[in-house]
C-alpha cells in the first residue's frame, strides 16, 4: 500500500493504479488514474522538503535558490554581506538548517566548510579552487560525522562528458598528444576551471600521462562554460567539446545532490553518483 493513499487497488505493472483528484473547468473535481509508483514518488517528495541555506548570491547561487524553491524546499540565501565574518554559518544560525549549499568564491569557501562541518551540518559544495585541501576536509568530515558532497560541475551533461573523456584518454597511449581548452566569463575567479582540472585528472588516470596534458584558459565576455579536449596524431585529430548554454543544469544538479545527501554521512564526489539522481 502506498503511504497516504488508501484507495489504490492492486494490479498493473507498477503495483496498481490509483486515483488522484484534479480540478476541472467547472471548479469541481474529477479523478485521474495514476500509477502507485508515481503516487509514492509524490508522497516521498513531500517528506524530502528541506530547510536549505544557500551561500552565494552570484548567478549560479541565484539559480540554485530558484531550482530549490521550484522543488518546494524552504530556502534562505546568504551573500557576502549576510555572511561577513561567518555570521550566517554560526552554530546558532544553522540550528534550523537541514543542509547548506555553497556557491561562493575560493577565498571564503574553506571557512564556510569548516564552520558548517563543525556545526554538524551536511554540505553540498559547488565552489572550486580549494581542492588542495581535500584530504584535510575529508578528515574533518569524518571526525564530525557529517555528510559532504562536492563537484567542479553538477551538470549531468558535464559528468557524462568526463566519462567520454576518460574513455578517449587512452589515445595518449597510442601516439596522440592531448590538450584541454576551457572558456568562461570574465568574472570567474579561478583559472583553470575546476572542470578542466577534473578533465585533466580523468584523462591522466586513463592514460597514466597526467603531466602531458596541458590546460589553456580563456576569460571572455559572458561565456557560461565551454570545455574542449583535443587529441592529435600525425594522421588525425579527435575533438571533444561540451558547451553549456545556461547555468540551469548546474543548479538542478546541485539541488538533486542535496536531496540525495540530506540523510547521509560521509565524503562524496558528484561524479561517482550522478547516475543515481
Q: In the chain, which stretches have pLDDT less than 70?
A: 1-48
Fold of 156-243: Dihydrodipicolinate Reductase; domain 2 (3.30.360)
pLDDT at 44: 54
User: Which residue is catalytic, options 48, 188, 189, 209?
Assistant: 188
pLDDT at 6: 40
Q: Report phi then psi at 255, rounded to 5.
A: -70, -40
User: Which residue is catalytic, options 73, 121, 184, 271?
Assistant: 184
pLDDT at 277: 83
Q: What's the pLDDT tens digit per position in 142-185?
A: 999 999 999 989 999 999 999 999 999 999 999 999 999 999 99
The domain limits of the chain are: 48-154+248-276, 156-243
Q: What is the 3-state secondary structure (H, E, C) of 78-137?
A: ECCCCCHHHHHHCCCCCCCCCEEEECCCHHHHHHHHHHHHHCCCEEEECCCCCHHHHHHH
Using DSSP's 3-state secondary structure scheme, residue 42 falls into helix
pLDDT at 14: 41
Using DSSP's 3-state secondary structure scheme, residue 150 falls into strand
Residue reference for cell 554538524: 120
Q: Is 144 a catalytic residue?
A: no
Q: What is the 3-state secondary structure (H, E, C) of 242-275?
A: EECCCCHHHHHHHHHHHHHHCCCCEEEEHHHCHH
pLDDT at 211: 87
CATH superfamily of the domain spanning 48-154+248-276: NAD(P)-binding Rossmann-like Domain (3.40.50.720)
Amino acid at each position: 500500500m502506498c503511504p497516504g493513499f488508501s484507495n489504490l487497488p492492486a494490479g498493473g505493472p507498477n503495483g496498481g493504479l490509483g486515483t488522484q483528484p484534479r480540478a476541472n473547468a467547472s471548479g469541481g473535481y474529477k479523478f485521474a488514474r495514476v500509477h502507485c509508483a508515481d503516487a509514492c514518488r509524490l508522497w516521498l517528495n513531500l517528506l524530502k522538503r528541506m530547510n536549505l541555506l544557500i551561500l552565494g548570491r552570484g548567478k549560479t547561487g541565484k539559480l540554485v535558490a530558484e531550482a530549490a524553491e521550484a522543488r518546494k524546499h524552504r530556502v534562505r540565501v546568504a551573500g557576502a554581506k549576510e555572511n561577513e565574518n561567518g555570521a550566517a554559518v554560526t552554530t546558532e544560525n544553522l540550528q534550523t538548517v537541514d543542509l547548506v549549499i555553497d556557491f561562493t568564491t575560493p577565498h571564503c569557501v574553506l571557512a564556510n566548510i569548516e564552520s558548517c562541518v563543525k556545526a554538524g551540518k551536511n554540505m553540498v559544495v559547488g565552489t572550486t579552487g580549494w581542492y588542495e585541501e581535500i584530504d584535510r576536509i575529508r578528515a574533518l568530515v569524518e571526525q564530525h560525522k557529517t555528510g559532504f558532497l562536492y563537484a567542479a560541475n553538477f551538470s549531468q551533461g558535464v559528468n557524462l562528458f568526463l566519462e567520454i573523456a576518460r574513455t578517449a584518454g587512452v589515445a595518449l597511449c597510442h601516439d596522440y598528444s592531448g590538450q584541454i581548452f576551457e572558456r568562461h566569463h570574465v568574472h570567474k575567479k579561478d583559472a583553470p576551471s575546476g572542470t578542466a582540472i577534473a578533465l585533466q585528472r580523468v584523462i591522466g588516470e586513463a592514460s597514466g600521462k597526467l603531466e602531458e596534458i596541458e590546460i589553456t584558459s580563456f576569460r571572455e565576455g559572458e561565456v557560461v562554460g565551454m570545455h574542449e579536449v583535443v587529441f592529435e596524431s600525425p594522421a588525425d585529430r579527435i575533438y571533444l567539446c561540451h558547451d553549456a548554454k545556461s547555468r540551469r543544469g548546474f543548479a538542478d544538479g546541485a539541488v538533486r545532490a542535496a536531496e540525495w545527501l540530506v540523510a547521509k554521512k560521509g565524503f562524496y564526489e558528484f561524479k561517482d553518483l550522478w547516475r543515481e539522481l
